[in-house]
């Protein structure tokens, strides 16, 4: 089994990040370091908002961004539906905030799958060392 770092190196995935003021998908992001991060893989690219605590003191690495995207994507793939996803994370199914978060995760999972292709997407989510 590969580590995430080996997966990234083997597939030539790179990441370039530009600092921005806020993350449109995250409340309270003004108290974080926010980036517009672009992953590149062959001729493909995927740009996503990415935030992290100010104490981390470094630009996001490909590992940082992919680990976060993989975690969010796996949460979508493992849920039967919105109610199941809410149950897993302790969200109220009547919450508009939960619905927005679910929809963002669902959209990003689709983009990540298109970016990597089915096989590498599955490897990223379920075939790497913890």
Classify the phi-psi angles of 33: left when phi > 0, otherwise alpha if psi is within -120 to 50, otherwise beta. beta
pLDDT, one tens digit per residue, over 32-91 is 999 999 999 999 999 999 999 888 789 999 999 999 999 999 999 999 999 999 999 999
Q: Write down the pLDDT at residue 64.
A: 96
Beta-bridged to residue 40, according to DSSP, are 14, 45
Structural domains of the chain, count: 1
Q: Write down the pLDDT at residue 26.
A: 86
Query: Residue 19 — φ and ψ, nearest 5°?
Result: -70, 135
Expressed as residue numbers, the domain containing 38 is 4-126
Q: Tell me the whole-structure pTM to 2 decimals.
A: 0.93
Classify the phi-psi angles of 105: left when phi > 0, otherwise alpha if psi is within -120 to 50, otherwise beta. alpha
Q: Write down the pLDDT at residue 118.
A: 97
Q: Are 102 and 86 in contact (CB under 8 A)?
A: yes
Output the average pLDDT for the chain.
95
């Amino acid at each position: 089994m590969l580590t995430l770092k080996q997966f990234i190196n083997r597939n030539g995935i790179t990441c370039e990040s530009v600092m921005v003021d806020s993350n449109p998908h995250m409340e309270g992001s003004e108290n974080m370091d926010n980036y517009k991060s672009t992953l590149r893989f062959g001729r493909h690219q995927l740009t996503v908002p990415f935030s992290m605590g100010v104490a981390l003191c470094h630009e996001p690495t490909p590992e940082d961004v992919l680990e976060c995207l993989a975690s969010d994507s796996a949460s979508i793939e493992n849920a039967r539906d919105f109610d199941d996803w809410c149950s897993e994370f302790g969200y109220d199914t009547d919450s508009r905030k939960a619905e927005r978060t679910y929809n963002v995760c669902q959209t990003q999972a689709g983009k990540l799958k298109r970016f990597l292709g089915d096989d590498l997407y599955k490897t990223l989510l379920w075939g790497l060392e913890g």
